[in-house]
């Protein structure tokens, strides 16, 4: 069974994909770029600001299914410049403080909307999760 996960706390999909899909206890989160959830625009600032926005977007998608960074088992980081790796790694480490997930980091020639970083994650969600077919955040 496939369950589509969606939240207004993270940027809306900019193409034919879902923010996340749950299958059993596995939660597959689409890659997040540094889009502001309200404006849909890339946040201004350096790679540090972009990385924090990406990770905050991921946190929102995880929250929509009752998960946290502690539930993440695999991440993939896409960078347009591996020279940014140290900065991204330091910020990333502040979100994954204990038992960090498996990870891959690759340099790519370009990312959507001119972003410099994109991160995707796979998490193991709680047994119960949301009871709705699609989870929408209604707080905002």
CB 64 within 8 A of CB 7: yes
Burial of 48 (0-12, 13-18, 19+ CB in 10 A): middle
Output the CA torsion sign for 136, 47, 75, 42.
positive
How far is Cα 93 from Cα 130, in angstroms, rounded to an integer?
A: 28
In the 8-state DSSP scheme, what is residue 9?
A: T
- Domain-embedded: residue 32: yes
CATH number of 11's domain: 3.30.1330.40
103 assigned to some structural domain = yes
Q: Which residues pair with 29 in a beta bridge?
A: 20, 121
**Does some domain include residue 140?**
no
Let me know if residue 10 belongs to a domain: yes
> pTM of whole model > 0.85?
yes
Ordered per-residue pLDDT tens for the chain, 140 residues: 899 999 999 999 988 999 999 999 999 999 999 999 999 999 999 999 999 999 999 999 999 999 999 999 999 999 999 999 999 999 999 999 899 999 999 999 999 999 999 999 999 998 765 433 334 333 33
How many domains in the chain?
1
The answer to whether position 134 is within a domain reads no
Which residue's entry shows tokens 């993270």?
10
In a domain, 14, yes or no: yes
Domain that holds residue 62: 3-124
Q: Is residue 133 part of a domain?
A: no
Q: Is 24 part of any domain?
A: yes
Token pair, residue 42, equals 């890339």
């Amino acid at each position: 069974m496939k369950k589509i996960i969606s939240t207004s706390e993270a940027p809306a999909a900019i193409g034919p994909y879902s923010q996340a899909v749950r299958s059993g206890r596995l939660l597959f989160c689409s890659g997040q770029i540094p889009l502001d959830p309200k404006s849909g625009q890339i946040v201004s600032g350096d790679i540090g600001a972009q990385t924090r926005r990406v990770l905050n977007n991921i946190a929102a998608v995880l929250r929509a299914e009752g998960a946290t960074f502690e539930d993440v088992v695999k991440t993939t980081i896409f960078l347009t410049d591996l020279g940014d790796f140290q900065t991204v790694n330091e910020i990333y480490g502040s979100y994954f403080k204990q038992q960090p997930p498996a990870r891959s980091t690759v340099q790519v020639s370009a990312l959507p909307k001119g972003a410099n970083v994109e991160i995707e994650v796979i998490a193991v969600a709680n047994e119960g999760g949301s009871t709705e077919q699609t989870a929408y955040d209604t707080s905002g």
